[in-house]
Amino acid sequence: MSKSSLVLSAVLALVASACCASTGSGGVRVDTGAKAAGPSTGSGGVHVDSGAKVADGALTSGLPTPPGAANLPRPSGAPGNLKVLDWAGFKSAVSYTFDDGQRSHIEHYAELQATGVRLTFFVNSGSMTGETDLVSTFSQAARDGHEIGNHTAHHCHADPDGTLHGAAPQTACSGTSAGAELDECTAFIKSTLGASQVWTAASPFGDQGFDAAAGERFFLNRSAAGGSVAPSDDTNPFHLPMWGPAENDTVEKFDAALDRSHAAGRWLIML
């Protein structure tokens, strides 16, 4: 089994063990193959699992509670007779990710929360510092069970060797290194937004220069390259592909991308 297969299967196994029908990519929505009648859509046209519910502001899922007692001791001895299931035994998976901590996210947060789907918000700490409305909304998102992911402090470019710069190579970036950019953002997410951990990141502009630093700090890192992930393929877990709509795309485009991924049994990360 490839490293990416193990990592991806592990994250989805964690999803299943936590009984979350939808979580982040962090926001992974797992699909059993049954399509909800008349799927509702939020802004951006996201599918809603028929089992996901919102109770007292917190997300719950329609998956059954695992049987048996909780907090059992860790098994001992050599492992054996184990099988890692693709997508934790489900047909396919999809993650809904939102980048940059945009004001449109907070303007439509109530609608997104009402879908009952867990989402991943990749935020930039530099543009959010001192912005009380952004801090308030994304702090609430963390409390509501959504994932707050790392999108660096200042959203700089990173060349393949890790050199940072602004929009043009000759312009400076406020950060000193790719690792420092990620560390500053993680500290902000934990101390200011109240997230207990930061598990995933997304490279600004999809730049490959962040991959190595992300691999030392996170479970997964999303790029901006197009594509999806198949079980046991050779996808780099620190340069994951994504699907992003064009401006003015309709909900039908979202549905078509989801349906293609579902039919192929793949993981689609939406941006």
Residues 6+ apart with CB under 8 A from 234: 2, 4
Distance CA 219, CA 200 (A): 6
By the 10 Å C-beta count (0-12 exposed, 13-18 middle, 19+ buried), 140 is classed as: middle
Give the pTM. Answer: 0.73
Region 127-135: mean pLDDT is 93
How much is the CA Rg of the chain, to the nearest whole Å?
Answer: 18
- Residue 93 in this model has a pLDDT that exceeds 70: yes
114 vs 64, higher pLDDT:
114
Q: What is the pLDDT of residue 62?
A: 57
pLDDT per position as a tens digit, 171-192: 889 889 999 999 999 999 999 9
* In the predicted structure, residue 31 carries a pLDDT above the cut 50: no
> Do you find a cis peptide bond into 26, omega within 30 degrees of 0?
yes
Instruction: Give the type of residue at 79.
Output: P
Phi, psi of 216 (to 5 degrees): -85, -10
Q: Cα–Cα distances in Å, from 230 out to 20, 101, 222?
A: 21, 29, 15
The residues near 15 (Cβ < 8 Å, ≥ 6 apart) are 23, 28, 30, 88
For residue 241, list its beta bridge partners: none
29 pLDDT band, cuts 50/70/90, is very low
pLDDT digit string, tens, across residues 253-269: 999 999 999 999 999 99
How many other C-beta atoms can be found within 10 angstroms of the C-beta atom of residue 145?
A: 19
